[in-house]
A and B are shown apart, each in its own frame.
Chain A
Amino acid sequence: MMNQRPFLHGRRLLTWAATALVLITLPMMFTQSFAISMLSQMGIAIIFALSYNMLLGQTGMLSFGHAVYFGLGAFISVHTLNAIGDGTFHWPVTLIPVIGGLAGLFFGVIFGYVTTKHSGTPFAMISLGIAEMVAACSLMFPTFFGGEGGISTDRAAGEPFLGITYGPGVQVYYLIAGWCFLSMVAMFALTQTPLGRMANAVRDNAERARFIGYNPTRVRYMMLILSSFFAGIAGSLAAMNYELVTAENVGVVASGNVLLMAFIGGVGHFFGPIIGATLVTFIQSALSNYTLAWLLYFGLFFLVMILFAPGGIASLITLHKDAWQVSQVRRLVPAYIAAALAGLIALLGLIGLIEMTYQVETKAEQSGTGMSLFGIAFDAATPTPWITSAAILVVGGVLLWAASRRVRASWTAVALVINARRSA
């Protein structure tokens, strides 16, 4: 029977083993310090985004203040690390995330008591209020929050254990990867418990849950406390990774960022936020090396996702899994190739316009209007590159419009097959 399978049955065991293998081997494939640092950030972001999705995806709570638990966990961890460095406190550095997690949990107990009295829009508003309040506190209490400069630390402060000092980046990566793996397993296991299931029930229909013995407020409160624990772990790891925690870590921008990660990845599936956290971290750190306008591109990307894939990347994956199972993916490929080519052309035109605007508006005073894009040197003060870019954008746009009709037609055909197989 389906529900009587053990927790680690064949396919699931394979998935977790593969995940562990990927976490272990990644830094062997990407050995540059830039890559290791990005991988570490991804691991932190994955824990944080998954903990956020315990609220949004699993319990239906849209929080604008989840970074409060991440940030406070980070601050407590930084102070703990400094106390270890001073010799006033003894604790293995490897287990600092336990302290960060408990700090997150502690503040979850306090703030969650207030926020989870309500659901829906009031919850969202109160969570924003708490975030603003904590952000304001961070400037009022400089001894704890370190004022504008934040609090710095030395992660190698503890006693070396088996030669591990957490000085080198790769050692921190493995610390993060280990905690990331444990947190992923724990958060997944939580979805399989009575509380995890009732969180879904409260998300879908809180009123009905009241008439089968459950108090929805209590379910939301407990989920928030547990999710704060994991957010605290993520914050703790961030403190060790950057060796610096600032007021920004508790701020609303950080809270918004984790929302974007969860949403882009897809809140309807457990693995969605993992994809979202990985992708968003990659875009943020890779793209920001190439262009000043990276936030604009990121915003556009988010907009396109919301408009065309509101269920996030995870929903796109499951959609294509369905098509794959009835061996219909090949019918989609030609339309996808056409759309990708058209999209690429439109994107080239768009990039040209955006980069030229940035050159003229922000860089002209220092470096003039001469620039180069895709290996072509030109002057952004002349009309030719503008006209060319605009023309490419228009042509690409028209082609994209035509290609999207083709994609839609192919999908209609595929959906018919999927539905026919299902009802058969």
Chain B
Amino acid sequence: MNKLQRFFPGLQSYAVLYLVFLYLPVLLLPLFSFNDGTIVAFPLKGFTLKWYGQLGEADTLIQALFNSLFVGAVSAIVSTSFGLFAARAYARYRFKGREVSEGLVMLPLVIPGIIVASSMLVLFLSIGLQPSLMTVILGHVFLAIPFAVSIMKSAFDEFDQSLEEAAFDLGETVVGTFRRVTLPIVAPGIIASLLVTFTVSFDEFVLAFFLSGNQPTLPVYIWSQIRFPAKLPSTLALGSLLLLFSVLLLLTAEYFRRRSTKSSV
């Protein structure tokens, strides 16, 4: 260890600098959202909350927010159900095609977004589905499945098979065992998966941009706002609130994920 320490004396300072690089753009939004001026530049002009006040009056924003909450909630529930079943199958059963299936469900992570978006748009219109929140949900479930599956997989990894067998032996039914033994044990994993998949959907832009038609989600709304310099400060305020919201959700998810795996990473 000492030799390595001498070899990389600046490694720790590099790590700290890297964190600054990672956090700089993210922390800029809240900083300038309180700035009493429409131009995002130094020096700061003074403290104000008026940009946050303006958000409450924007009706299209509120509508887009509800659209996003709806899409996120439905996508989270559907993708987590898929993930729960699939992870259970991978952890518990040996079957033909398991590895192919495990690889396939990760595919959405590595297909460029624009290709997913354009091909789905063409598909949905070909089968007569007009762009709407429905089509956005179909797309977001697709994107969220890899996250749901991998979180649920780690939840099942630690799962002790003999608990289920014991429940069977003591006379529980299949459904009863699942509800009273399996489900409570993997529940933290389910909550973590719901929160993460919700966040994936809530923040997603490109697919929603192609598939939302005239029902914009929040990122699509933001996209329409960032072209107008006059709207800039309130967009920053909105962004800061979203940032806070996402981080809170993710910290909650992390807490539950920890509880579900019980292992220190």
A and B: bona fide binding partners: no
Residues of B within 8 A of A (CB): none
Q: Please list the residues of chain A having a beta carbon within 8 angstroms of any beta carbon in chain B.
A: none
